[in-house]
Amino acid sequence: MRATVMYGAGDVRVEDVPDPRVQEPTDAVVRVLRAGICGSDLWPYQSMPASEQGRRMGHEFLGVVEDLGAEVSGLNRGDLVVTPFVWADNTCDFCAEGLQTSCRHGGRYGFDDVDGGQGEAVRVPQAKGTLVRLPVGEDSALLASLLTLSDVFCTGHHCAVTAGVSPRTSVTVIGDGAVGLSAVLAAKRLGAEQILLMGRHTQRTDLGRRFGATDVIAERGEEGVQRVRALTGGDGTHRVLECVGTKQALQTAFGVARDGGVVSRVGVPQYDEGPIGFDMVMRNPTLTGGAAPARAYIEELLPDVLDGTIEPGRVFDRAVNLAGVPDGYRAMTDREALKVLIRA
């Protein structure tokens, strides 16, 4: 089959790889219908050292079950399924606590002889615990929105949930990428009335307004902090959703948080130190967030996608076929595309 392999920064190829097949009785093989390029795929695209064997890419996909191991119950060949961006047994103690990203028998796509999602098919380990059946057909108009349950919308939702967003909280979202816009939609869904979106790309912030942002702040750094404070009576917001991952974004997040507020971060951190000193202690902030256990959220979010209450798939503004994936990476890196959908 054909699949995406990254060989180093800026070097993504689509090439022949071995066909996936059931290896363990807990595996399934899924033929991919839709996949996504993730903002987190762009970090290695910008920094990965050259490698001879390369690395299989992609962890957001949905598709059709083609084959099943003997121990996989609850799924049938021909089922349309979506996967969270990590696979998990969904039965261990961490999974029972809703933290499938820490599953004792789980792992990541594209590592340890497991396929990536940006290809024609994927061997899915722990298929029973991992895959969620979708009650739609292969020609459903909802596939793009359903695909966001793999990662990007669940990540925005996780950011809002861990921050404690509710109808009683004001919210700032930092970042107008696909995760930031998803966080706006998630905050709106959880009832927030004031949602301030910090971002400077008008096309993206316009979608943010449609998703529920009440104000857009284009300024960055200290200027952006002052703008948010001006819009909130000088105090900042109760909840801050940091969806960028840079140190500056984290500093801005603490800057716009109301005293006693919560900062949740879901961007892949490109820093290893942050503002944790005396000033912060006096202001009583909480820092939370992390990798989203998408598997814990899919069933809860699915009905709202199926009935059209939310359309998280609007973050996809470009579609390519598998051969177009290298150009999709380039387009997202050059900020030509917000998020790229891969159609089989």
**Which spans of this chain sit near Zn ion (rule: CB under 5 A)?**
88-89, 92, 95, 103
Q: Which is nearer to Zn ion, 5 or 86 (CB)?
A: 86
Other beta carbons within 10 Å of 278? 7
> Least Å distance between CB 65 and Zn ion?
21
Radius of gyration of the chain (CA): 20
Burial (Cβ within 10 Å: 0-12, 13-18, ≥19) of residue 15: exposed
> Least Å distance between CB 29 and Zn ion?
21
Q: Which is nearer to Zn ion, 9 or 99 (CB)?
A: 99
Could you write out the three-class secondary structure of 81-137? EECCCEECCCCCHHHHCCCHHHCCCCEECCCCCCCCCCECEEEECCHHHHCEECCCC
> Least Å distance between CB 101 and Zn ion?
10
Q: Which is nearer to Zn ion, 236 or 293 (CB)?
A: 293
> Least Å distance between CB 11 and Zn ion?
35
Q: Which is nearer to Zn ion, 89 or 115 (CB)?
A: 89
User: How do beta strands 340-343 and 318-320 pair?
Assistant: parallel
> Least Å distance between CB 125 and Zn ion?
12
> Least Å distance between CB 128 and Zn ion?
11
Q: Which is nearer to Zn ion, 98 or 191 (CB)?
A: 98
How far apart are the C-alpha atoms of 302 and 298, rounded to whole Å? 6
- Strands lying side by side in the sheet with 2-8: 11-16, 2-8, 55-56
H-state helical runs in 170-201? 178-189
Q: Looking at this protein, which amino acid is placed at residue 146? A: L
> Least Å distance between CB 95 and Zn ion?
3
3-state helix, strand, coil in the chain (%, to 5): 35, 25, 40
Q: Looking at this protein, which amino acid is placed at residue 260? A: G
How far apart are the C-alpha atoms of 13 and 147, rounded to whole Å? 23
Q: Which is nearer to Zn ion, 105 or 229 (CB)?
A: 105
Contact 248/254 with Cβ under 8 angstroms? no
Q: Which is nearer to Zn ion, 6 or 292 (CB)?
A: 292
